[in-house]
Structure 1
Amino acid sequence: MQIATWNVNSVRTRLEQVLDWLRSHPEVDVLCLQETKAPDDKFPIAAFNDLGYQVYIYGQKSYNGVAIVAKQQMDEIANGFGAILGDGFSANNPDLDFDDQKRVISGVSNGVRIVNLYVPNGSAPGSEKYDYKLQWLAKLNNYLKKLIEQDGGIDAAQILVCGDLNVAIADIDIYDPSDRAKHIMSTDLERETLQAAVLNLGFQDAFRKFTPDAGHFSWWDYRGGSFRRNHGWRIDYHLLSPKLYEQAIACTIDIEPRRLEKPSDHTPVVVELQLA
C-alpha cells in the first residue's frame, strides 16, 4: 500500500499537476493534500472522480483546507478535531476555534487510520499565531491519544500521521540550521511541542528509517533560487505507529513536481507499507 502527502498550495491552481502526478503514479493508493484553499462546493471533485478516485474534503475559502484522494472507498471519515474529541468541542467551548481553520481530516483504508494534517505555520516566534500553533499541537495530542485508545493502545494501533507539519524535526532537515533556534518552524519550543504531541506517543519518522543522510527536503521557498540551490527544509512527514513502522518498506521524496512551471513550493512524499 502506498500513501502520499503533498501540500499543493491551491488544488485548483495546481489541478493539472496533481492529476498528471496521479496518472504517472498509479501505484499510489491514497494521496493526502494540504493547503487546498477551496471551500467544499468549489473543490474539483469531478476531475478526480473521472480518474477513478474517491475524494474526501474539508476545506474553506482562500486558506488552509485538507483532502484525501483514494482509489478505494474509505471508512470512518472524520473532519476536524471535534469529530473525534466530541463533547470537548461543544458550542460553548472555546476549543471550537481549533476547527474554524480546516486542518485535520482522517479516514481508514485497508485497516490503516490515515491522519492528514496541515499544521499552522506560526508566523513568527512569540507572535499570537505562534501561540496558536503550540496550542493546536497540544490539541493534536489529545486527538491522537483518543485514536490510540480506540485502537487498543499504541502497540495495536495502525495509525499513519502525515502532512505538512510546519516543523523541521531535526537539524538534518534544514539546509542550514546554524540560526534555526530563532527561525519559525525550528524553534526549540515548536520542536518540543511536536515531540510531546506526536513522537512521544510512539510515532516514528518513516523517511529516516531508510534515508539517514542530509540534503533531502520537501519544501523550498519560492525566493532566492532556493530549489535550484537545494536550500530546502523537510517539513512534510509520514509518522507511523510502531506496528506500521515495522511494515514500512520504503519512503521517498519525489522532487520532480517542484521542477514544473508554477509549482507548489512543496513536493510529494510517498511511503510504502507491506501490510500483514
Structure 2
Amino acid sequence: MPSKPLRIATVNVNGIRAAYRRGMGDWLADRGVDILALQEVRASTDDLTALLGDGWDVVHDPATAKGRAGVAIASRHRASLHRVELGGPDFDTAGRWLEADYEVGDRIVTVVSAYVHTGEVDTPKQIEKYRFLDAMEHRLPELAAHSELAVVLGDLNVGHRTLDIKNWRGNRKNAGFLPDERAYFDRFVGAEGDELANHGAGLGWVDVGRRSAGEVDGPYTWWSWRGKAFDNDTGWRIDYHLATQALADTVASYTVDRAAAYDERWSDHAPVVVDYAI
C-alpha cells in the first residue's frame, strides 16, 4: 500500500491570534496538515504554541519589532535543524525567513517559511524589498544543494505573471507587480514563454501553483478586505510553493482553500495546500 502523501500548507495569518478568533483552528483541525508554514504571526512563541495545541513541533522566528511580521513552521515531525540566517551578517531578516529540516522516512525535506514585505515604489521600503529578494536569489541554489527535496513557502508579495493578478493593467507601476520584481521570478523559475519555465529554466525551481493550475487566471490567494474584492474574485496570487524539481515532481494535489464566503474568512490570504507523494 502506498504511503500517505506529505501534506504541506502555507498561509499568511495576518496575526495568528486574530485568525484563531475568526476560525483558523477549525480549518486546521479538519485539514490533515503535516507541515504548516505561517507568515505574519505577530505573536510570541508561547502564544503560538498555545493556540496550535498539542502534537505540533514549532520553530518560530519572531520579528525584530514586537507585533510585526514573524514567521513560523509547525510540524507533526520534529525539526532536526533550523536556521534563520539569510544574506550577510549585517542583514536582519526581521522575522521573515526561517528554514527547517525534517526527516521523512529516510529522506530530508527542507521547508522554508518566507515573508517578503509589500514594498512601496521610490521609498526605502522598496530598496529593502529588493535587498531581501537579492538575498533570496543567492540562497536558492544553496538550498537546492543542501537538499534535493526543498520548498520555499509563503507570502512573497510579487505577482509573477499577468495571470497572477486580476487587475494587472492597473498595477503595472505598483509594488508587487513591478518589472524588476517580476524579473526575480523569471530567474527563479523561468520567464513567461520559456518552454522550460517550471521545468528547469532559471535557477531550476518550480512554481508549483502555476505548474499545477496551468495557463489560467489565478487561482488567487489574496484579496483585500475592502470593497467587493473577495466577492468579485479580484485577487492576487502571491502565496507560493517554490519547490526543487525533485520535490515538485512528487506533487499529487494543489489546492487554494478559498473561504466559501466573505464572512467566513479568517485572513485576507487563503491557505495553499499541497500533497507531496514522497
> Could you tell me whether the CA contact under 8 Å between 2:9 and 2:35 is conserved in 1?
yes
Mapped pair 1:245 → 2:248: yes
Q: Which has the higher helix share?
A: 1
1:140 is paired with a residue whose SS is helix
> Could you tell me whether the CA contact under 8 Å between 1:173 and 1:215 is conserved in 2?
yes
Mapped pair 1:140 → 2:141: no
Mapped pair 1:37 → 2:42: yes
CA distance in 2, matches of 1:49, 1:263: 18
CA distance in 2, matches of 1:257, 1:165: 24
- The corresponding residue for 2:16 is 11
CA distance in 2, matches of 1:262, 1:29: 22
> Could you tell me whether the CA contact under 8 Å between 2:221 and 2:271 is conserved in 1?
yes
Provide the aligned length of Structure 1 versus Structure 2: 254
- Aligned amino acid, residue 118 of structure 1: Y
- The corresponding residue for 1:154 is none
Unaligned runs of 5+ in 2: 1-5, 191-201
1:21 is paired with a residue whose SS is helix
Q: Cα deviations across residues 206-264 of structure 1 (Å, max 9, x unaligned)?
A: 12222122142000011122101111000001111111111111111000277445621
1:119 paired residue among 116, 121, 128? 116
Q: Cα deviations across residues 90-125 of structure 1 (Å, max 9, x unaligned)?
A: xxxxxx2333x1101111222211111001211x22
- Aligned amino acid, residue 98 of structure 1: D
Mapped pair 1:105 → 2:88: no
Q: TM-score, normalised by structure 2?
A: 0.85
Q: How well do the aligned residues superpose, as a CA RMSD in angstroms? A: 1.9
> Could you tell me whether the CA contact under 8 Å between 1:141 and 1:198 is conserved in 2?
no
Mapped pair 1:223 → 2:226: yes
> Could you tell me whether the CA contact under 8 Å between 1:218 and 1:233 is conserved in 2?
yes
CA distance in 1, matches of 2:265, 2:205: 34
> Could you tell me whether the CA contact under 8 Å between 1:257 and 1:263 is conserved in 2?
no
2:81 is paired with a residue whose SS is strand
Report which stretch shifted further, 14-23 or 63-72. Answer: 14-23
Mapped pair 1:175 → 2:166: yes
> Could you tell me whether the CA contact under 8 Å between 2:37 and 2:72 is conserved in 1?
yes
Mapped pair 1:205 → 2:224: no
1:258 to 1:44, Cα distance in 2 relative to 1, 3 A? farther
2:220 is paired with a residue whose SS is coil
1:219 is paired with a residue whose SS is coil
1:5 to 1:258, Cα distance in 2 relative to 1, 3 A? farther
CA distance in 2, matches of 1:102, 1:136: 12
| Percent identity of paired positions between Structure 1 and Structure 2 | 31
- The corresponding residue for 2:72 is 67
Q: TM-score, normalised by structure 1?
A: 0.86
- Aligned amino acid, residue 134 of structure 2: A
- The corresponding residue for 2:199 is none
Unaligned runs of 5+ in 1: 90-95, 152-156
> Could you tell me whether the CA contact under 8 Å between 2:256 and 2:272 is conserved in 1?
yes
